[in-house]
Amino acid sequence: MNKPILFIISITLCTALIIAIRFVGLEGQAKANVKRARSLPQAFDYARGTAPQNKTAQWVSISMGAPGSVITEADIDILPEPAQRYFRNAQVAGKNRISSFSVILEGRIRNGPTEPWMPLIMRQYNRLDNPARVVYLSSTKPPMKGIDSFLEGQGRMLIKAMDLIKVVDSKGPEMAISAFVTFLNDLTLCPLAYFSLPLKFRQIGSNSIELSMTYAGMAVSAVMTVDSEGRPVNWRSEDRYAEVKGRNLKDRWATPFEGSKEIAGLRIPEKGAGIHDYDGNPYIYVELDRIHSLVLDANSLPEDL
């Protein structure tokens, strides 16, 4: 067989492999996970509404409502003052509740405090009326693909080198509760999302609120701190785990934020980071310096850049 024919065959096979990876590799699997998430029935009975508030109680339930219903100033007024400040700055009043959103985040990530940084792109879909998140991760140096998911109360982190060789496949009860915490953390990317969920708030400082939610037999909480204008500056939870050398360790997880930007009519953080602290030596493991392409009531994973 002559060289030109061999070259054509090689190019054809490479093209076929690229197409196969795109549609049956992790990106195709991520899109299938989004379809699965969208096929699930609503998890919450919105027709019942939110129970009347007990003004003597420390916790206050958010005014959860069905997607499409309007968030009012009265819905915000019942919340602790730092939460009021946050939601007013985020510009949620007068807007409709949503059932889902999608967003793209870009930055860098590393596997440990002394490991090299890798470029990172996260294309993400979140459903709210049946809590789910599907994040398709990609890096070029080294070439890695991954799916970080929370579906039907189960969490999973699946990473493959070159979209072929499995290097991480984490699941189980610790991964489930960690994914649930991350799902709640995602709400800072789309503040309308809070009002579609059965959340509770309580004030624990002049600028801090604790939020809590129970779902699929799991109860988690976190503390969000805002500045004088209501912009989020930190979000932390001790309900998450970090997998370190095959062991699941309790993680004092935090995601500090910087700046503010307007997107899709909402004010959200301009930048964010992730901090692991499972041994008393906190370190930044992810930095996100581009948060963009927010879509409300999304139907799919965001398209490739």
Domains of the chain: 9-45+96-296 (2.50.20)
What would the two tokens of residue 223 be? 């503390």
DSSP of 64-131, one letter per residue? ---TTSBP-HHHHHTS-HHHHHHHHHHT-TTSBP-SEEEEEEEEEE-SSTTSPPEEEEEEEEEETTTT
Residue 13 parent element (H or E): helix 3-24
Whether the per-residue pLDDT at 10 is higher than 60: the answer is: no
In percent, the amount of the chain with pLDDT more than 90 equals: 87
What local confidence, expressed as pLDDT, does residue 279 receive? 96
What local confidence, expressed as pLDDT, does residue 145 receive? 97
What local confidence, expressed as pLDDT, does residue 4 receive? 52
Contacts of residue 150, Cβ cutoff 8 Å, sequence gap at least 6: 131, 132, 133, 176, 179, 180, 182, 183
Q: Which residue has the tokens 């061999």?
A: 6
Whether the per-residue pLDDT at 6 is higher than 90: the answer is: no
**3 state SS of 213:** strand
What local confidence, expressed as pLDDT, does residue 49 receive? 72
Q: At what angle do helices 3-24 and 26-39 cross, to 10 degrees?
A: 30
What would the two tokens of residue 212 be? 């809590």
Give the Cα separation of 92 and 77 in Å (integer). Answer: 13
Give the Cα separation of 75 and 77 in Å (integer). Answer: 6
pLDDT in tens, 169-208: 999 999 999 999 999 999 999 999 999 999 999 999 999 9
- In this prediction, residue 18 has a pLDDT band, given cuts at 50, 70 and 90, of very low
CB 31 within 8 A of CB 23: no
What local confidence, expressed as pLDDT, does residue 259 receive? 97
What local confidence, expressed as pLDDT, does residue 102 receive? 98
What would the two tokens of residue 61 be? 């339930």
What local confidence, expressed as pLDDT, does residue 20 receive? 43
More confidently predicted of 49 and 262:
262
pLDDT in tens, 196-254: 999 999 999 999 999 999 999 999 999 999 999 999 999 999 999 999 988 999 999 99
pLDDT in tens, 77-93: 999 999 999 999 999 99
Provide the residue type at 243 as one letter. Answer: E
CB 265 within 8 A of CB 91: yes
pLDDT in tens, 21-59: 444 699 999 999 999 999 999 999 998 877 666 655 799
